[in-house]
Amino acid sequence: MLNDHKYIQRTFWIIVFMIIWESIALSGIFSPLLVPSIQTILYSLYLSIIDGGIIAQTLYSLNLILRGLAVGLIIAVVLSSLSMIFKTFEGLVETLITIAHPLPGIALLPLIIIWFGAGTNAIIFIIVHSVVWPMILNLLTGFRSIPNIYKQVGQTYGLNPFEIVAYIMVPASFPYFLAGIKIGWARAWRALISAEMVFGAAGGGGGLGWFIFKKRVFMDNPGIFAGLIVIVLIGILVEDFIFNKFEEMTVKKWGMTI
């Protein structure tokens, strides 16, 4: 029932926004190049789907994001776990976070081009850099919120530090773990679109960032909005049918909340 109410509210506000947008577009206050009508935007999206271009570019972008997220998640889990086991290592990780977290991936562009060129690897590096630090912060927050009694119980049962992290700390901090993945997913999209707009068609292909960039070059504003709609739709679908469902099957079912 709560989800139904959420979907009704979301649909209502989307309709309100569309009515406001269409009213402005039809009023003639702004040029159609600046504020295209919804019909024009949807027609541009339809044409992009029919020729298959936007579908292939969406799949390309999703592939890069999933690869970057997977690498970032592995790094985040390893570094966070080692931080909880070795206090000296914890200082190193906190120093790395302090230095690297505020740095936008695009700010590292000159170095990334020297190290990885201007291809797919460079984009994946930017995605990993964008997602790994918030993931680590979330995991560390989750680990530190666990009562000491949990660790003491593990020690009583003879678990070594690595087993305590794997069997006690990770499950107990799972809500933070899931929240970190959500944040990483959102930041991965931002990093990807920015990187593709800079690098262009990396590795002979291109994703949604490249799609939007090409539309901008040719002053195809309806096409730009069509690309943005695809990104928004993917975000909604992933949030509602993957993250929310997974959350219901785990942390909500277990009675765990942040």
As a whole number, the mean pLDDT across the chain is 86
Residue 102 φ then ψ, to 5°: -75, -10
**Residue 40 belongs to a domain:** no
**Residue 133 belongs to a domain:** yes
Lookup: tokens for 56: 């292939």
Name the pLDDT band for 4 (thresholds 50, 70, 90).
low
**Residue 26 belongs to a domain:** no
User: Cβ(58)–Cβ(234) under 8 Å?
Assistant: yes
The single-letter code of the amino acid at 215 is K
What percent of the chain has pLDDT above 70? Answer: 93
First CA to last CA across the chain, in angstroms?
A: 22
Name the pLDDT band for 46 (thresholds 50, 70, 90).
very high
Q: What is the pLDDT of residues 217-232, one digit of tens each?
A: 888 899 999 999 999 9
What percent of the chain has pLDDT above 90? Answer: 31
CA 195 vs CA 16, 22, 34, 40: distances in Å: 33, 32, 25, 28
Q: Which residues span the domain enclosing 67?
A: 56-252
Question: How many Cα atoms are found within 13 Å in the side-chain-facing hemisphere of 16?
Answer: 6
| Number of domains making up the chain | 1
User: Cβ(132)–Cβ(76) under 8 Å?
Assistant: yes
**Residue 47 belongs to a domain:** no
Closest CA to 196 of 214, 184, 182, 217: 214
CA 228 vs CA 57, 111, 140, 208: distances in Å: 13, 29, 33, 9
**Residue 247 belongs to a domain:** yes
Helix or strand or coil: residue 197? helix
For residue 202, pLDDT over 60 is answered with: no
**Residue 118 belongs to a domain:** yes
CATH of the domain at 221: 1.10.3720.10
Q: What is the pLDDT of residues 68-86, one digit of tens each?
A: 999 999 999 999 999 988 8
User: Cβ(226)–Cβ(40) under 8 Å?
Assistant: no
For residue 254, pLDDT over 90 is answered with: no
Across residues 14-41, what is the average pLDDT?
90
Whether the model pTM is above 0.75: yes
d(CA 103, CA 82): 23
d(CA 62, CA 57): 9
**Residue 221 belongs to a domain:** yes
Q: What is the pLDDT of residues 87-137, one digit of tens each?
A: 888 889 999 999 988 888 777 877 888 888 777 888 889 999 999 999 999
User: Cβ(209)–Cβ(192) under 8 Å?
Assistant: yes
**Residue 122 belongs to a domain:** yes
